[in-house]
Amino acid sequence: MTTDTGPLAGLRVLELAGLGPAPHAAMVLADLGADVIRVDRPKGRALELGNPGDDAVLRGRRSIPVDLKEPGGRALVLDLAERADVMIEGLRPGVVERLGVGPRECLERNPRLVFGRITGWGQDGPWARDVGHDINYVGLTGALHAMGRASQPPAPPLNLVGDFGGGSMLLLVGVLAALWERSLSGRGQVVDAAMVDGAALLSQMTLALRGMGEWHDQRQANLLDGGAPFYDTYACADQRYVAVGALEPQFFSALLDGLGIDAREFGKQHDRACWPVMRRRFTATFATRTREEWAARFAGTDACVTPVLTFAEAAGHPQLAARGTYVEVDGVVQAAPAPRFSRTPNAPPAPVDSRALSTEEILARWARGR
């Protein structure tokens, strides 16, 4: 599965099998050209969500089944860590240490290794060893409380904010930063990424607005949480939706033009006293046409009105199709590797290869030397 293309071609990554952000981070590294080997549990995954061979998050790398509770399994992982540039694990704090493949053992064998680890609560603190999932981590940071309608409970943002935005992407930033530092010092280090840290970091603009008195701790009471009627979603005649993001005055003017509404019906755009009347007018007007009719009406304007698409619809949208944002591999629609590079382009994603490598194959591929 190794490739000679992509900006990370030649980088060797060892992934300890897990769920959520760690395999996603390994996928992105593989998309960017790294040679990633996944160390799998002999008896499969802890949470079975369909056939692992169909899981497109596992694209771009091969796996080896290893029982880390056996001395031979630990020895193999340490041998691989000695040859790797990066090692990634997403297990609970203390697990890899108990298994004998923690940072101390791996960095002793390979002082240049970047040891990336991702957890929900972090490696330390009173909750460090407690279980949790994305919704728990996001909930503790304040981010979840801010999402959803005022009259309803907070709305889970899929698992994008904790697992992936605040998890795998934060881990990737840390790993790549450590690789840059290694190019100067010649030494590896441990990267401790926690989803609570990442969710808080993603919330920094909201925290800044709150510090300036421009954000309040009530849902749907602020500029970017659906409180402003010109930054929200609206149902159309066919019960599909459009997204409206007309924040700037010139965009707001284009929105009113497209809706056929006279600006004199309202006061100033950012006068909150006008928002209830404005919202009722927008709601009634958007309900008079279908989503596609509104999409056609606002196409080419500066009103910032776009259709809200399903995953099934997204890949066929002209912009995303032209960009190649989604690709289909063996009948499975999935996100294309990103970002794009002018001189070292990424290879197209290959089908998930569920064949396990033998110990001999992997050691031969990762033979000592550069």
Counting every residue written for the chain, the total comes to 370
Which pLDDT tens digit goes with each residue over 30-78? Answer: 999 999 999 998 865 545 555 656 789 999 998 898 999 999 999 999 9
Pairing of strands 305-307, 241-245: antiparallel
Global pTM reads 0.93
Are the C-beta atoms of residues 59 and 334 closer than 8 Å to each other? Answer: yes
Q: What is the pLDDT of residue 358?
A: 75
Task: Give the rounded distance of the alpha carbon of 247 from its chain centre.
Answer: 26
Choosing from 35, 85, 134, 163, the catalytic residue is 163
24 is catalytic: no
Which of the following is catalytic: 55, 133, 145, 353?
133
Q: Which residues of the chain have pLDDT under 50?
A: 46, 369-370
| AA letter at 191 | V
User: What is the pLDDT at residue 279?
Assistant: 97
Q: Could you tell me the domains of the chain?
A: 12-202+337-365 (3.40.50.10540), 231-314 (3.30.1540.10)
Q: Catalytic annotation on 133?
A: yes
Half-sphere exposure of 108 (CA within 13 A, CB side): 7
